[in-house]
Structure 1
Amino acid sequence: MAGDHLSNDEFFAQLANLFEHNRKKGHSSVYLVQKRLSFDSSAAPPTPTKVADDPLWDTHPENPLPILIRASNNKSDKRPGTDREDIVKIKLSTVVQPDDLDAFYLRYAEACRAGMSGLKKRDKKKGKKDKKKKKKGVGEIKG
């Protein structure tokens, strides 16, 4: 399974391409997932020591564990008649070692910020302010 993962540098290059590809195609969703790798599939699973009072005893491993980072455009709908028929699903993943986490997250934040640069600012609804004013006026007694 380790052969399926990209190196960190390749991952950032492909992530930039994924953001650019989605921006050009008009599809704006890029799904980013990160999770702790529980153990290397080629080795035996770790056996954490159980602590009597701690219900989450298995979340405290003896050694820091690597992190799996995934990115995809989640375009898997191949049904006829949908606008997603011709879009290929792109899936990227990399494994980050605990010693490299700080440097990785700095680059990761820069890549995400650059990928989000073309987004439109969200329109704030004016109706929320009007509703709050009406609610305040409901409890008042006019005399």
Structure 2
Amino acid sequence: MGREHLSNDEFFTQLGNLFEHNRKKGHGSVYLTQKRLIFDSASTPATPTKVADDPLWDTHPENPLPVLIRASNNASDKKAGTERQDVAKIVLSTIVEPGDIDTFYIRYAEACKAGMSSLKKRDRKKGKKDKKRKKVAV
């Protein structure tokens, strides 16, 4: 857990590189996760007080919490005898402050769209095409 978090700009640069790396290899996945950051070593947020009527009392903090964003190529699931055994695991993370969330997600969406630009169009099953043809012919 001793990893340092990247700045938001560094995160987007490295995320673009990760998408490009997978595109050149011709296969691979990029896993993107996000969660609110409950504990920050720099400042400990005040714990919300428990309310008897509210079953989700811990989801209403007094101050907005930052968000932890992670990206990984998940190369830890290597199996012996596969060609992917030489791929090193890449893990990226950044912390987004509550005031920067809107601008971050705009850039995040653009980076994700750019990373998905080389995806192949899904092959449809022949059965669906045949059903459509029958309906039109009738």
TM-score using structure 2 length: 0.85
Is the aligned partner of 1:80 residue 2:80? Answer: yes
Task: State the identity as a percent.
Answer: 77
Which residue number corresponds to residue 46 of structure 2?
46
Which residue number corresponds to residue 108 of structure 2?
108
Deviations 1:76-129 (A, max 9, x none): 134431222100011000000000000000000000001111111112324247
More helix by share: 2
- Matched to 2:89, the amino acid is K
Report how many aligned residue pairs link the two structures: 134
Partner secondary structure for residue 93 of structure 1: strand
8 Å CA contact 1:39–1:46 kept in 2: the answer is no
Which residue number corresponds to residue 125 of structure 2?
125
4+ aligned runs moved over 4 Å, structure 1: 42-45, 128-132
Partner secondary structure for residue 76 of structure 2: coil
User: Offset of 1:7 from its aligned partner?
Assistant: 0.2
Where does 1:90-109 land on structure 2 (aligned, <5 Å)?
A: 90-109=90-109
Which one has the largest radius of gyration?
1
Measured in 1, the distance between the counterparts of 2:126 and 2:3 equals: 52
8 Å CA contact 2:70–2:93 kept in 1: the answer is yes
8 Å CA contact 1:77–1:85 kept in 2: the answer is no
Partner secondary structure for residue 10 of structure 1: helix
TM-score using structure 1 length: 0.83
Deviates more, 1:116-125 or 1:35-44: 35-44
Measured in 2, the distance between the counterparts of 1:44 and 1:96 equals: 16
Measured in 2, the distance between the counterparts of 1:107 and 1:125 equals: 35
User: Offset of 1:75 from its aligned partner?
Assistant: 0.7
Which residue number corresponds to residue 55 of structure 1?
55
